[in-house]
Structure 1
Amino acid sequence: MNLTPALPACCTALDSRWPLPTVLPGTVLLSTRFDPARLLADDFQRSAVVAPPSIQRSVAKRQAEFLAGRICARAALAQLDGTDTIPAIGEDRAPVWPAHICGSITHSTGHAAAIVANKQDWRGLGMDLENLLSHERAERLAGEILTPTEIQRMAAGSQDHLALLVTLTFSVKESLFKALYPIVQQRFYFEHAEVLEWTAAGQVRLRLLTDLSSEWRNGTELEAQFSVGDGQLLSLVSIAA
């Protein structure tokens, strides 16, 4: 019988509570809180996680977030179907999942999570966690993240929501990339998608603004969801099989 490796000193027990508005059947989502200041020299060994050279050379924050995300991913895979593996870092910097699995790993200040599913149920999953921007930073970054049409919509709406909207737009476009890139194998950027509408209940509608493949063409619409808590925004784009 395989024993579950010990959690590193820098991570809390894994949390299996679903944090978003709509539960996706057939998925496993696990999260943890981590503190880089509590990272010990033997945490990778204790957790049976091999640190790639790029991680070994990095600062404690990067090491802790990598370790926390991979621990969530390994446990999620084991819970899903008994798969015992840790996704490696691919040449494109994305996690390398088993061939029958789609998944996503994300982390932001002190918080990491992973979601996985069998490709028979879900073709693509993209999840992203971001710290909520301040109003001032959101104003500065809006031109880099939002399309001209999105900026027009934002200007016509309540300025009370500006920081949330810019953070949300950034996050769901990151989630969209994570969900679609493994399918289309083509890079795309913030200007290649737009948020059409969102609700306070956590639902988002997106539209592609470029052709990524014969299936994923300019004008294709997708759904996303998000939640806000503890000063962070979590978003998820899911593509059903």
Structure 2
Amino acid sequence: MQTTHATFLLAGQTVHRITFEPATFTEADLLWLPHHHQLSDAGRKRKADHLAGRIAAFHALNRQAIPGIGSSGEPLWPAGVRGSLSHSGTQAVAICRDNGLVGIDCEAIIAENEAREIQDGVIDPAEARLLAECGLPFALAFTLVFSAKESLFKALFPQVQAWMGFECARVTSLTADALTLMLTRPLPPFTQNQVFTAHWLRKDATVVTLICDE
């Protein structure tokens, strides 16, 4: 599969980005993955997306390891490493740190009509008011909230070890480069009303959000 590797900074952290061409993917490409047998029943798109994400993670790990697949589908990072990865469309991103929380997500900006259709499953009335007043186009603001919650749940999962729905967190502020999220319920060891910051940037028609400890 044809790929291009690049890096960019977000919240002072180095993010590794892979741009890939799904049409160039072949089954033989998967043999590069030690866990390729776990993808034997996956569709072509999932295989290409997964491979791109692992290539991004490989670069984030200084080309020393490839994360496997956990029992809940999460990436298995090497001991002593906190990492996160995401893919959307024809790009994948990954980031690694030595410690602390880390969660990253990339999303193609959701079309406004689609965002309106699914908003009740993602945001509550208070968030809807926030989005209406934040000054950003609704499609962009909604995608940022969607993505920031995904980043938060990825950051918390290693400790929570449970599925988290969009209703578990509420976005309480949205600025030109960050969102503030608050937990609406306890997610042990994290407490109800605990607050987190998601940094974001836009790259063409895609947004990237990042949760990490300061």
**Shift in Å, 1:134:** 1.1
Q: Check the 8 A contact 1:138/1:166 in 2, yes or no.
A: yes
State TM-score, norm by structure 1. 0.82
Partner of residue 185 from structure 1, selected from 161, 170, 174 = 161
Report what 1:23 is aligned to. Answer: 12
Structure 2 residue ranges without an equivalent (≥5): none
Report what 2:185 is aligned to. Answer: 210
Q: Does 1:226 align with 2:200?
A: yes
Q: 1:186 to 1:51 in 2, by over 3 A?
A: closer
CA distance in 2, matches of 1:157, 1:173: 17
Q: Check the 8 A contact 1:194/1:208 in 2, yes or no.
A: yes
Partner of residue 84 from structure 2, selected from 87, 99, 104 = 104
Q: Check the 8 A contact 1:128/1:171 in 2, yes or no.
A: yes
Partner of residue 235 from structure 1, selected from 194, 198, 209 = 209
CA distance in 2, matches of 1:183, 1:68: 26
SS state at 1:176 partner: helix
Report what 1:171 is aligned to. Answer: 147
SS state at 2:101 partner: strand
In percent, how many aligned pairs have the same letter?
32
SS state at 1:15 partner: strand
Q: Which amino acid in the other structure matches residue 153 of structure 1?
A: L
CA distance in 1, matches of 2:82, 2:109: 27
Report what 1:128 is aligned to. Answer: 105
SS state at 1:234 partner: strand
Q: Which amino acid in the other structure matches residue 227 of structure 1?
A: L
* Aligned pairs (5 A) from 1:122-161: 123-156=100-133, 161=137
SS state at 2:116 partner: helix
Report what 1:11 is aligned to. Answer: 3
Q: Check the 8 A contact 1:125/1:238 in 2, yes or no.
A: yes
**Shift in Å, 1:54:** 4.3
Q: Which amino acid in the other structure matches residue 63 of structure 1?
A: K
CA distance in 1, matches of 2:115, 2:153: 21
More strand by share: 2
Q: Check the 8 A contact 2:30/2:36 in 1, yes or no.
A: no
* Aligned pairs (5 A) from 1:84-99: 84-99=64-79
CA distance in 2, matches of 1:42, 1:157: 47
Q: Rg larger in 1 or in 2?
A: 1
State TM-score, norm by structure 2. 0.92
CA distance in 1, matches of 2:200, 2:130: 19
**Shift in Å, 1:39:** 1.0
CA distance in 2, matches of 1:167, 1:16: 22
Tell me the matched-pair count. 214
